[in-house]
Every structure is written in structure tokens, then in C-alpha cells.
Amino acid sequence: MTAELSSPDPASAAPPAVLRRRSSGGGGLGRYILVRFLLIIPTVFILVTLVFLLMRTTGDPITAALGGKLTGPQLQERIHEAGYDRPLIVQYLEYLGNIVTGNFGSTLSDNRPVTQVLLTYGGATLELAFYALIVAFIVGIPLGMVAAYFRDRAPDAFLRIFAILCYATPVFFAGLLLKLVFAVWLQVLPVAGRASTGAELQMQFLQSKTGIYLIDALQTGNPEVIGDVLSHAVLPGVALGLLTAGVFLRLVRTNLIGTLGTDYVDSARSRGVTEFRLVRKHAYRPALIPIITVIGLQIALLLGGAVLTETTFEWKGLGFQLAHYLQARDFVAVQGIVALLAVIVAVTNFIVDIIAALIDPRVRY
């Protein structure tokens, strides 16, 4: 997740600045990291408890999944076997204990450990989120700068409406439209899936399979496979990325406008620095800091969006799988995946907070 943070400014002189700031407030940073880290525990605990209690108030998962298929006594037997007839508090403590040891339960419908589901499908979701973030950066940041530069003029108006449209369009509708135009009418990109069967077969025989198709394709060294994987990634990446791009655009614009009004920019302006150079060089970097912090919250949004995007494009990731288990009414699997995602969100937020603190000392309170 951190790799793409630096990608939008290649000519960055940030590292020395970061080091300088860090040395001046080192003790504070250590404490800050520790406090943030300890805050993960209550967050995860609350979410896991919430999900557990909510899911269990509706009754036991076995009746929900198999209710229509088994007779009463058979159901009772299954419920007893799985321990769902014990007091709630016993089940809850057992559940907590399991989670601490990394056991998120097994799915009911196909009896696989939830952690294994994550390992199999997590890579695909990660890959999709990565593509989406790249699209968001490529589209959102430059356009945000353009909007700030042309503040209150036609390009700004156009871009602001574009940003609102990005937000107003549900990812699945954006996906459907993209599919309709580029895959069905123009037929330049594939309709769905992560790779064509041929490419998937080639990657299947790799020694070090990662499940992240881009890496696997690069490993085969076959340009056709790489091209195939990339062409499958375009539409889902754009559909999900535009959602975040709108947020980035608006953030960059607002922050740039704010920064352009500060004293140091005014003094640069009075020295005769052109407005374009002011945007590009002087005001640009301070305006990016809020973006890094917002990425933390965007992760949550991206995960939610990924569920919808994956369903639209039959992208076989965690979200696709989650939708599948929802259809099968396999609530143990749903509970497991949701709890696991809670952990992932909490940890990502922690990492993003630390990065923000490294870049901007004011964050460490």
C-alpha cells in the first residue's frame, strides 16, 4: 500500500525533510506509534464483538443455511454438534479465543477455514484495490491541481461536477456502463474475469504462485499473458478507481486553494513566481498530506466498493466470495470474512496514521 504513495511525485525531495523532522521529535513519534498501535486492539475487539452479537441475535447459522433442507431432529443434531445450543457467553468467549489464535471459523457451505478463503482470494482484492488507487492518483491529483489553478472558472466548474459525478455514480453502475461500451459495443476489452483461460493455465504451473495475477504474469515473462492480465484489469480498476479519484480531486483542489492563500505562497507570488509554478512547486506538497491521511479512510470505502466491483466483473476476490456466501446464506463465512476485514482495516489505518505522522509532525498529538 505504501509503494504508490510516492508514485505521483517522482522528483520528490521529501526524504531529507522527513528525516529532519523526525529527529527533532523522535520521542513523541515513538509514543504516538505505541498509542496508535494499542488503539487497534479495542477497535478490532469492538467490531468483532458487534458482528458476533448481531449475527447471533438472529438465531443460529445452521438453521439459516440449512433450514429448508433438513428435518427438525437433523437440524438439532447439527446445531448440537457445532455447539450453537450452548450459552451465548460461552460461545462468545470461545469465538474470541479462536480469533486471538487466528482462527476465524470455517464456512458452512463448503467447509473451508475462513483464513484459507482469505489467502486464496485476498490477493485478487488487493490487486484490484491497487489498480483502483493507481487510477485514483493518476486521475484525481492532476485534475485537482488543474481545478485549483482555474479556480471559479470553466475548467474548475467542469471538474467539480465531474468529481461529484464520480461520487454519485455507484461503482456497479459505472462498471456496467464501462462494460457495455468497451466490452460489448467496441469489443476492445474483456467482459469479465481476471484473465482468459489460456493465461490462467500458463500461470497455474508457476513454481512461486502468488495469486496476484500481475506478479504471476510478470513471472511467466510472456508478454501475451501480461497483456491479457492487464487488459482484464482496466475496466474494474477504472470503475473502482473513479470513485476514489473524485474524492482525491476534491481534496487536492480544496487544500491547494487553502495553501495558495498562505503567506509563504503570497511572498513567492510577490517575487514574481508564475501562478502555474506556484501550484506545481510551492503549494503542491503541503496539499498532499491530507490525501495520505484520507487514504486510510478510503481503504474502508475501497473494500466496500470492491465487493460491488468484483460482483459486477466476476473478479474472483474476497468481495465476490462474500457475495457468494451471502447468497448461500452461509453466515459463518460472512461473519468470518467481515471480522477479518475489520482487522485489515484497523491495521491499514494504523499504517497510514504512522506514515502521516512521519510526513507531518503536527499529526502527533
Partner 1 sequence: MTATTAQTRPKRSLVSRIPLFEQVRSSIGLQRGMLIAGVVITGLFVITAVFAPLLAPYGFAQLRSDGTPFGAQEAPNAEHLLGTTVGGYDVLSRVIWGAQTAILTIVVSVILSIFAGIFLGLVSGYIGGWLDRVLVVVCDAIYAFPSLLLAIVMSIVISGGRSDLLGGILAASISITVVFIPQYFRVIRAETVRIKSEAYVESAKVIGTRAPRIVFRHVLRNATRSLPLLLTLNSSEALLTLAGLGFLGFGIEPTAAAEWGYDLNKSLSDVTSGIWWTSLFPGLAIVLAVLGITLLGESLNDLADPRLRGRRAALDTGAPTADNGAEPHGAGATGERIVADDASTADDEERVS
Interface positions, 83-142, toward partner 1 (CB under 8 A): none
Could you give the C-alpha distances from 355 to 43, 47, 290, in angstroms and in order?
19, 24, 11
Decide: is 309 part of the binding site for partner 1 (CB under 8 A): no
Decide: is 167 part of the binding site for partner 1 (CB under 8 A): yes
From candidates 99, 108, 338, 354, binder to partner 1 by CB under 8 A: 338
Decide: is 184 part of the binding site for partner 1 (CB under 8 A): yes
Among the residue ranges 101-109, 204-212, 264-272, 296-304, the one whose residues contact partner 1 (CB under 8 A): 296-304
Beta carbon nearer to partner 1, 8 or 190: 190
* Least distance between partner 1 and beta carbon 321 (Å): 12
Q: How many CA atoms lie within 13 A of 300 on its CB side?
A: 12
Beta carbon nearer to partner 1, 46 or 93: 46
Decide: is 197 part of the binding site for partner 1 (CB under 8 A): no
From candidates 226, 240, 260, 345, binder to partner 1 by CB under 8 A: 345
User: Is 325:333 a contact under the CB 8 Å cutoff?
Assistant: yes
Positive or negative, the Cα torsion across 238, 239, 241, 245? positive
* Least distance between partner 1 and beta carbon 206 (Å): 30
Decide: is 251 part of the binding site for partner 1 (CB under 8 A): yes
From candidates 17, 88, 96, 168, binder to partner 1 by CB under 8 A: 168
Nearest to 130 by CA among 244, 217, 224: 244
Decide: is 327 part of the binding site for partner 1 (CB under 8 A): yes
Query: Helix or strand or coil: residue 194?
Result: coil
User: Is 285:265 a contact under the CB 8 Å cutoff?
Assistant: no
C-alpha cell at 203: 500461470
Cα of 353 vs its chain's centroid, Å = 15
**Near partner 1 in 205-244, by CB under 8 A:** none
Per the DSSP assignment, residues forming a β-bridge with 63 are none
From candidates 138, 301, 347, 351, binder to partner 1 by CB under 8 A: 301
Could you give the C-alpha distances from 212 to 130, 244, 338, in angstroms and in order?
11, 22, 21
Instruction: Quote the DSSP letter at residue 221.
Output: T
From candidates 37, 173, 264, 276, binder to partner 1 by CB under 8 A: 173
From candidates 284, 312, 332, 354, binder to partner 1 by CB under 8 A: 312
User: Is 353:39 a contact under the CB 8 Å cutoff?
Assistant: no
* Least distance between partner 1 and beta carbon 356 (Å): 7
State the maximum Cα–Cα separation within the chain, in Å, rounded to a whole number.
Answer: 86
Decide: is 283 part of the binding site for partner 1 (CB under 8 A): no
* Least distance between partner 1 and beta carbon 205 (Å): 30
**Near partner 1 in 39-68, by CB under 8 A:** 42-43, 46-47, 50-51, 54-55, 57-58, 64
From candidates 157, 188, 206, 218, binder to partner 1 by CB under 8 A: 157
* Least distance between partner 1 and beta carbon 140 (Å): 12
The span from the CA of 298 to the CA of 161, in Å, is 20
User: Is 241:135 a contact under the CB 8 Å cutoff?
Assistant: yes
Beta carbon nearer to partner 1, 48 or 278: 48
From candidates 19, 93, 164, 206, binder to partner 1 by CB under 8 A: 164
Positive or negative, the Cα torsion across 143, 148, 149, 153? positive
Site size toward partner 1, by CB under 8 A: 74
Instruction: Quote the DSSP letter at residue 280.
Output: I
